[in-house]
Amino acid sequence: MAHFDENARPFSNKWLDERIGINTLKRVLSTEYWIPKNINFLWAMGMVLAATFGMLLISGIFLLMYYIPDTKQAFDSVNYTIMSQVGYGWLWRHIHGVGASVVFLIIYIHMFTGIYYGSYKRGRELIWLSGMLLFVVFSAEAFSGYMLPWGQMSYWAGMVITNLFSGGSLHANGLVEWIRGDYIPGQAYLGRFFMLHVLLLPLVIIGLIVFHFGTLRLPHVNNKDGEEFDFAAEAEKYKAGNKKESKVIPFNPVFLSKDVFVMGIYFIFFFYLVFYHFEFAMDPVNFDPANGLKTPTHIYPEWYFLWSYEILRPFPTDPGLIAFAFAQVIFFALPFLDRSPNVAPANRRGIFKFWFWALLVDMIILTFMGKVPPVQPWSNIGLVAAVTFIALWILLPIITKLEKKL
């Protein structure tokens, strides 16, 4: 049995180290977790995401104290009880609503930073794949949360999205009813989406964040030039006092202080939205209670789903479903479709540079087209943008195969 110091004060550093190796943990996870110096504020987005998820969890716990998952009471429990009867209920709701919207903005920035710098390649494939799993589960979390106020858009967006599982002309037998627990969204439907939103999906997200951090530990984060170097040797230089010469800094306290600085600026922006512009995160149609007999004239999802919705909409049912399924899974394949050996910023990578900007602009166009009603000329622009999206992904292996080694 290991030797324990009888005189160590309970819960002191020494006491904890002897029992759970707290000093080793600190070294591995913070003071000797090395980060390249050559990175910019975009590398703080991961921590900004983690912090926003924390805000969503805390505000969600407060909302859960008064929310009632019952089709007859859900709408009032949110719009009346929480918003006007509970002290600061409105604040928690605005934090939760704004957080749910802004978290997707940050996720997209984080994803496109990874694509721009090629951070999904050469040892970093699992970082990308775990990130994509987070994206999918976050999407399910946002969708299930959107059902809970049981307003018109909750009901009808839920109807449209669950209808996707009818499988077009395949008429997947009873799958939609199995998902809804009924023929139409009702109590069984609300109950299961409530469970998913407050229990199962948050647990999966927490597990995936831990896994995502784990996948970062060995390959280390990428840097602005995609430069590869010996982290252990650079860390030795740093520890020996050659801090200027070393290409790395410890995560804690040096990089963490920069993360906290970026988070500070982010939270000023975040709370500005919470207090002055929360309405952008709340659809006016959802302030009418759910009514299964009255279809809203125009049904659309929240802004962060619009690009994939617009890939579905311009096509007839079956090709539309295939295109939609393609859009959902294709980002997972990125590390394997990019055939170039170069890990470098897109602006140094020949045709890939154009591919990157074309994809970004195309997804922004799809987002705008997904919001407008399906009338001309928007329908045609949406169709061209949807075909371009698919073509860009089909072209990716070819253009990256042709790329010269830097």
Pick from 96, 212, 313, 349 the residue near ligand HEM by CB under 6 A. 212
- Give whichever of 51 and 153 is closer to ligand HEM, judged by the CB atom: 51
Number of residues forming the site for ligand HEM (CB under 6 A): 25
- How is residue 13 written in tokens? 């550093």
Does residue 290 contact residue 71 with C-beta atoms inside 8 Å?
yes
Does residue 110 contact residue 45 with C-beta atoms inside 8 Å?
yes
- How is residue 238 written in tokens? 């740093």
Cα(103)–Cα(51) distance, integer angstroms: 10
- Give whichever of 77 and 144 is closer to ligand HEM, judged by the CB atom: 144
Its sign, for the CA torsion 124, 356, 339, 347, is: negative
Cα(125)–Cα(121) distance, integer angstroms: 6
- Give whichever of 131 and 301 is closer to ligand HEM, judged by the CB atom: 131
Pick from 98, 132, 142, 196 the residue near ligand HEM by CB under 6 A. 132
- Of all residues in this chain, which one has the CB nearest to ligand HEM in the complex? 46
Tell me if residue 289 falls in helix, strand or coil.
Answer: strand
C-alpha of 65 from chain center: 26
- How is residue 188 written in tokens? 């069984």
Pick from 62, 120, 146, 324 the residue near ligand HEM by CB under 6 A. 120
Q: What is the DSSP letter of 182?
A: S
CB of 114 to ligand HEM, least distance (A): 3
CB of 248 to ligand HEM, least distance (A): 14
- Give whichever of 364 and 402 is closer to ligand HEM, judged by the CB atom: 364
Q: Which of residues 216-255 bind ligand HEM (CB under 6 A)?
A: 216, 221-222
- Give whichever of 22 and 126 is closer to ligand HEM, judged by the CB atom: 126
Does residue 89 contact residue 82 with C-beta atoms inside 8 Å?
yes
- Using the contact rule CB under 6 A, the part of the chain among 64-72, 133-141, 314-322, 396-404 near ligand HEM is 133-141
- Give whichever of 110 and 180 is closer to ligand HEM, judged by the CB atom: 110
CB of 164 to ligand HEM, least distance (A): 22
Closest CA to 101 of 138, 73, 130: 138
Pick from 82, 95, 102, 111 the residue near ligand HEM by CB under 6 A. 111
Closest CA to 124 of 38, 212, 45: 212
CB of 395 to ligand HEM, least distance (A): 20
Buried b (16+ CB within 10 A) or exposed e, 234-249: bbeebeeeeeeebbbb
Q: Which residue has the tokens 């918003």?
A: 83
- Using the contact rule CB under 6 A, the part of the chain among 67-75, 88-96, 131-139, 306-314 near ligand HEM is 131-139
Binding mask 157-196 for ligand HEM (x = CB under 6 A): ----------------------------------------
- Residue 209 lies near ligand HEM (rule: CB under 6 A): yes
Q: Which of residues 49-108 bind ligand HEM (CB under 6 A)?
A: 49-50, 107
Closest CA to 307 of 328, 280, 286, 321: 328
Q: Which residues contact 66 (CB under 8 A, 6 or more apart)?
A: 77, 81, 82, 86, 89
**Which residues contact ligand HEM (rule: CB under 6 A)?**
43, 45-47, 49-50, 107, 110-111, 114, 119-120, 124, 127-128, 131-132, 134-135, 138, 209, 212, 216, 221-222
